[in-house]
Structure 1
């Protein structure tokens, strides 16, 4: 049995004394021990070596009194397993030499057994669960089908993903074929993660906010919802759509246990749009962690008062920035842990 159930209790809507807290990208570049490993191993070597992935997952757990761990991995391991040879290029980020550009490219995508293609992730879960000693839960995650399509068609990161969007608007049949293939494989992947021991799932829709509400419904939410429908019968599911505040009314009608929100919506509006009956997660602006520890502590506690203690998970509105000082991250977490009504 997990000793600290605060995170899982909040997902289930149980009464809690304070909100649980964790940070997106908490096992990341702001930690000196992470940077030391980065200098020894390239990014996907770290992802694909179970012992390294588990070690990185545990780094913030050893430093901070967080209420959940999240497995160190990347959303692009799924398209890699399907045959898209993503690499991580210095100063570029994710890079795919031959992006998807035709129906034939979509049809060539593979569907190998998860144990063969992504077994290293499952092994990392097993190792991490042993290291956690049932102290706190472990989150597994995937990218949304739309977000993965963005990288698969664009071939690299982008502020607008115009190439990916035009692919969908010009060739919706191809786009839906691609999105369904990603969805089906993601469901297989996440089910195996659950069987391997993760206690909750988060779906990252990092680029959903680039779509209009109508297009979001067509090219993103309908596929996320398929994943939620299947996984929610097994574990709590969190959906985080960056910039997708307009979809909160629709999302809140799904079987998701929680919805992540970024800083572009107030806690009060997020509650209003989601109907008050679902757990919310977020939404501290990561850039505010570059403020002073005193300000961070004060604003983080105000964030709790604005959201309310119940049905709430304290987190950032996106991933922690690499230049955040350790004492600032600690001030954020301490503000949540020490909160009293």
Structure 2
């Protein structure tokens, strides 16, 4: 698919497919926190594998949090239930940035061990490794936790560019080494989640974020030219044309974008997405109608991986996701035969 060959069927996997909506996962979470799971390679591998077995998806994505590598920089992050990642000493100045240690991959070696377990015969589908992008990681470090407006983060980008670029440089260095560690351990593809970068406008992105993203992607691609790399964000329709200039193999679209519009804006890479997760609440007829539209656009574009426009939510019915996977496979075979 990523090489532009007619696959005969559209591959499918789901953002946040491993976790919150699965019964078996919820039982595991009664005993372990997310970070505790990720530090136990056999348990983490089991959680990563769950959706492959339960839904029949075509790829697994490593179970962990975007803040997991912060341990390797000696940054203490707490995952608060119902809140998200919380950082008690927010970064606000160059002094704070200077205190950040360089990333040490040996401090998160359990992540590499999990990948090796999964890719040494446990999985029969590709494994996607990932990292959080510098902007999204920085938003937690600067704001001290989740936010709806990113005022302090954007304020630093605009008002203190020297501090901002110093922080971005350190986080970009971390991203390069973290992704490289996952590649060395056996990951079959890599994805960068810039979940909250939609908060900035296109000019801000070009000036304060693009150079760092370009360095990350170019460096990793030079080290591992055989590994596909993807970019994912939310509310990023205005950034899609900019992403098309990065040396990416896959660009993920959320439900506000369309495959047709991405093509019109110069995207030539494989696209991934972009079903609105809200459709998981709909009846099968309504869901199928929307899936048909996305699949047809994808087949006509020629390079499409079916996914949600954002993550699986806790209330999602696992049976609906299983049905959806089967439907994508069956319907896309028909469409590829007709249109491909």
> TM-score per shorter chain, which class?
over 0.9
Q: In the alignment, what sits opposite 1:259?
A: 251
Cα displacement (A) at 1:336:
1.1
Contact 2:201 2:238 in 1 (8 A): no
User: Structure 1 residue 130 and structure 2 residue 93: aligned?
Assistant: no
User: Structure 1 residue 308 and structure 2 residue 304: aligned?
Assistant: no
Q: In the alignment, what sits opposite 1:41?
A: 32
Q: In the alignment, what sits opposite 1:157?
A: 146
Distance 2:39 2:156 in 1: 31
Contact 2:71 2:108 in 1 (8 A): no
User: Structure 1 residue 218 and structure 2 residue 210: aligned?
Assistant: no
Alignment of 1:1-341 (within 5 A): 10-114=1-105, 116-133=106-123, 135-233=124-222, 234=224, 235-275=227-267, 277-308=268-299, 310-339=302-331, 340-341=334-335
Cα displacement (A) at 1:254:
2.1
Question: After superposition, what is the alpha-carbon deviation per residue over 1:223-270, rounded to whole angstroms, capped at 9, x for unaligned?
Answer: 222111122241110011222222222221221001001011122112
Question: CA RMSD, aligned part only?
Answer: 1.4
TM-score by length of 2: 0.93
Q: In the alignment, what sits opposite 1:6?
A: none
Distance 1:33 1:294 in 2: 28
Aligned residue for 2:209, secondary structure, equals: helix
Cα displacement (A) at 1:131:
4.8
Distance 1:92 1:126 in 2: 32
Aligned residue for 2:230, secondary structure, equals: strand
Cα displacement (A) at 1:38:
0.8
Question: After superposition, what is the alpha-carbon deviation per residue over 1:12-43, rounded to whole angstroms, capped at 9, x for unaligned?
Answer: 22221021100000001011111111111012
Distance 2:154 2:74 in 1: 22
Structure 2: tracts of 5 or more residues without a match: 336-340
Question: After superposition, what is the alpha-carbon deviation per residue over 1:156-190, rounded to whole angstroms, capped at 9, x for unaligned?
Answer: 11111112211222211011000010001110111
Aligned residues: 329
Question: After superposition, what is the alpha-carbon deviation per residue over 1:281-334, rounded to whole angstroms, capped at 9, x for unaligned?
Answer: 001001111112332233212211122262110000011111011222122211
Structure 1: tracts of 5 or more residues without a match: 1-9
Contact 1:146 1:219 in 2 (8 A): no
Distance 1:224 1:34 in 2: 33
Distance 2:75 2:191 in 1: 23
Contact 1:79 1:148 in 2 (8 A): no
Contact 1:69 1:139 in 2 (8 A): yes
Question: After superposition, what is the alpha-carbon deviation per residue over 1:48-107, rounded to whole angstroms, capped at 9, x for unaligned?
Answer: 221221111000011122111101011102233212210111222111111112211101
TM-score by length of 1: 0.93
Distance 1:232 1:311 in 2: 20
